[in-house]
Amino acid sequence: MKKSIYIFGLIATLLSCKGQTESDKRFSAEGEFAYNVQLAHFETGQVESRGECTKEIFIKEFEKFKWKEQLTQANINLSVSPTISVINNESKNEMGISVVGNNENDYGFWIFYGKDGFMNSIEVYDEKSVIPYVEKFFLLDFKTLDNEFKN
């Protein structure tokens, strides 16, 4: 995948967080975990809160998310990177998964982790590689995630 696409995806994702100073503006405060989505046709900073979730609900939503379709639309629109995000309401740790790439045959994911305004990222190339990070997040294994995302 071309580096310029990654840079565009990173910039679009970071800009989508600009102006958001409180996690509760983007996530439901109900439940231990809550999630939201940002679709290709959304404005910068616009998300759709989906409410509280469990690990099973979030993974199911991640797996059924139309990543290739959303990537194509984002590339046509030159818009935000389609993203699904989750927060642990007690710790305020967040994880966001964004798709970036050239087309449906040449794409990958940026996984963002941290607290609002202080996110680090990891790049992975397929959907199956995302799941172990999601599982650690829902196990509240923030120490391991902190170490993995600092490298």
Instruction: Name which residue leads in pLDDT, 41 or 4.
Output: 41
pLDDT at 33: 98
Residue in this structure with the two tokens 């959907």, named with its chain if needed: 127
Distance CA(137)–CA(34), nearest Å, equals: 12
Name the helix (H) or strand (E) containing 118: strand 118-124
Q: How far apart are CA 5 and CA 96, in angstroms?
A: 18
> What pLDDT was estimated at residue 5?
46
Specify the range with the lowest mean pLDDT, choosing from 15-19, 40-44, 72-76, 135-139: 15-19
Mean pLDDT lowest for which of 3-17, 21-35, 94-108, 111-125? 3-17
Where do the H-state alpha helices sit in the chain?
Answer: 3-17, 55-64, 67-77, 131-138, 142-150
The pLDDT assigned to 8 comes to 45
More confident residue, 19 or 144: 144
Mean pLDDT, residues 104-118 taken together: 93
